[in-house]
Amino acid sequence: MSHKSMVDIIPLERDNQEREPPAPTPRRHWSAIALAVVLVLSVGALLGTLFPRDGSEIEVPDGDTIAVYVVGEVHRPGVVTLPRGSRVVHALQKAGGLTAGADPMTINMAERLEDEQMLVVKPRGAAVALDATEAEQPSAAGEPETLPEPPPVPDEPAADDGALTPAPEGEHFEGGVVVEEVPEGEVVEEAGPAPSGRKVSINRATVDELQSVPGIGPQLAQAIVTFRQGPPARAFSTLEDLMEVPGIKEKKLEQLRPYIDL
């Protein structure tokens, strides 16, 4: 009976040995390690592309975006990515804005941008210097351009030094008006009324009517009317008020008195 049991047990032990997995070989071991290393390196490269070390995110333009290179007087020059249809002002905002030395007068903020465009922000004074350089460029023939001469300036009248044109003989200026001189000691003759038989009103007479009075020329007649019209407008209350008009003094008033009234 004991012999029979040994025969029955032996097949069971052989079945258990056949079911156990085979031991790994050295070749399979190194292949698994190489595959793991390649997988780790691939994942690391992918993460490095998506998340750079400087923390900035790389923007890859697609069909709805454009890439514009912004340089010059901006705080963060470089390539910026914008939606298609963006304008210059959007690119400048993404580049950090203009610096204090930028010249905004040379920038068209409303200009629409295109893909692969380069936007240069000039410093102040660059446009003036460029214009001056272009003006000095030689002509197509290789010779400097000859700028047209400015038009001649007409001769200006001599400056007024305050000197007056000498008055005619026998007359002098009083208040800018030529007045007939009366020799000292000579008595002014009191002539009768004007030939018309009526006196001229110094408050209502025109320049022409005042010239009909002996002793009143064109300049003195105009001076009387100008004084009367003002401003301020005024009327002569007495004949003596005429002495307020430049060119009329007491002797002149006595000469005019027979021909004038209020």
147, part of any domain: no
- Number of domains forming the structure of the chain: 2
Least confident of 55-64, 71-80, 250-259: 55-64
117, part of any domain: yes
134, part of any domain: no
Domain stops at, among 76, 109, 128:
128
Neighbour-count burial of 43, counting CB atoms closer than 10 A to its CB (0-12 exposed, 13-18 middle, 19+ buried): exposed
Residue 242 belongs to domain with CATH number = 1.10.150.320
Do 250 and 196 share a domain, yes or no? yes
pLDDT digits over 184-226, tens only?
A: 544 444 444 445 568 888 888 899 989 988 988 999 899 888 9
Do 257 and 175 share a domain, yes or no? yes
189, part of any domain: yes
Contact 81, 113 (CB under 8 A): no
Two tokens, residue 15: 């079945």
Model pLDDT, residue 146: 60
Do 101 and 181 share a domain, yes or no? no
**105 φ, ψ (degrees, to nearest 5):** -70, -15
204, part of any domain: yes
pLDDT digits over 96-144, tens only?
A: 999 988 998 889 999 999 999 999 999 988 755 545 455 455 555 555 5
* pLDDT mean over 62-82: 92
Model pLDDT, residue 191: 40
Q: Which domain holds residue 109?
A: 65-128
Distance CA 145, CA 138 (A): 6
250, part of any domain: yes
Model pLDDT, residue 247: 84
Model pLDDT, residue 189: 42
Averaged pLDDT score across all residues of the chain: 73
Least confident of 55-64, 79-88, 159-168: 159-168
**Non-local CB neighbours of 128 within 8 Å, separated by 6+ positions:** none
Residue 104 belongs to domain with CATH number = 3.10.20
206, part of any domain: yes
Model pLDDT, residue 26: 66
**pTM, 2 dp:** 0.30
Question: Is the confidence at residue 257, as pLDDT, over 80?
Answer: yes
pLDDT digits over 223-252, tens only?
A: 888 988 888 888 888 889 888 888 888 998
Cis peptide before 154 (omega within 30 of 0): no
89, part of any domain: yes
